[in-house]
């Protein structure tokens, strides 16, 4: 489990196909605290540390993950948002995030608002799982959605988030990973059977 509060930016050092999987080597300033079998969210995608090297660590993404996320578009040198799993004795500053991507969305526009930025997103499929002023996780970042429709929504990014996540690198047309709020997913399941 995660909170959607980004700890650090990592840099993709290499990507290597291994059958239908992809092995990803990442460097980060959280390297010294990592161990094998630890879960880390990479742009919201929960991946397990398989190897810790002197200046990097390695994770493997399976075909299911590659097919449902923007991971297939990652490149060496690219930055990614990182969050280690939450500790049960810590504050839950964001919202409950599983690291299981539900969909991707496309950046439609970015508007600077004199100190903050409004990002508009178009979902790749219709969804009733986003609610006005509800939680949404974008590339692993816990945010509040507004101007919600069945196919689009907006979020506001404050200066701290803009600087300390990959939001400052996003541009119109970029694809992002989306995780809907887990509570909404359970409610939808109960209502629809």
Q: Which residues of the chain have pLDDT under 70?
A: none
Edge-to-edge strand order for the sheet containing 152-157?
141-144, 135-138, 175-180, 103-112, 117-123, 152-157
Spatial distance between the Cα atoms of 13 and 78, rounded to a whole number of angstroms = 8
CB 142 within 8 A of CB 83: no
pLDDT digit string, tens, across residues 116-149: 999 999 999 888 899 999 999 999 999 999 999 9
What pLDDT is attached to residue 180? 95
Q: Tell me the CATH class for 103-192.
A: mainly beta
3-state secondary structure of 4: coil
Tell me the sheet residues that pair with 178: 103, 138
What pLDDT is attached to residue 91? 75
Burial annotation 33-51 (CB, 10 A radius, 16+ → b, else e): ebeeebebbbbbbbbebee
pLDDT digit string, tens, across residues 99-120: 999 999 999 999 999 999 999 9
Domain segments of the chain: what residues? 8-84, 103-192
DSSP classification of residue 73: G
Alpha helices, DSSP H, located in the chain = 63-68, 159-164, 182-192
Asked if the domains 8-84 and 103-192 are classified in one and the same CATH topology, the answer is: yes
Give me the CATH topology for the region 8-84.
Elongation Factor Tu (Ef-tu); domain 3 (2.40.30)
């Amino acid at each position: 489990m995660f909170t959607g509060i980004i700890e650090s930016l990592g840099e993709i050092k290499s990507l290597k196909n291994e059958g239908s999987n992809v092995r990803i080597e990442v460097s980060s300033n959280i390297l010294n605290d990592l161990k094998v079998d630890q879960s880390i969210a990479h742009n919201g995608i929960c991946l397990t540390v398989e190897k810790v090297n002197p200046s990097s660590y390695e994770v493997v993404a399976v075909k299911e993950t590659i097919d449902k996320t923007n991971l297939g578009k990652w490149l060496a040198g690219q930055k990614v948002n990182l969050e280690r799993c939450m500790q049960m004795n810590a504050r839950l500053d964001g919202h409950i995030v599983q690291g299981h991507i539900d969909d991707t969305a496309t950046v439609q526009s970015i508007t600077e608002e004199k100190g903050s930025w409004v990002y508009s997103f178009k979902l790749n499929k219709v969804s009733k799982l986003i609610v006005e002023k509800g939680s949404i996780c974008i590339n692993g970042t816990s945010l509040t959605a507004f101007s919600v429709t069945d196919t689009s929504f907006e979020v506001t990014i404050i200066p701290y988030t803009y600087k300390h996540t990959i939001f400052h690198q996003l541009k119109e047309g970029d694809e992002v990973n989306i995780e809907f709020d887990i509570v909404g997913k359970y409610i939808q399941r109960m209502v629809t059977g």
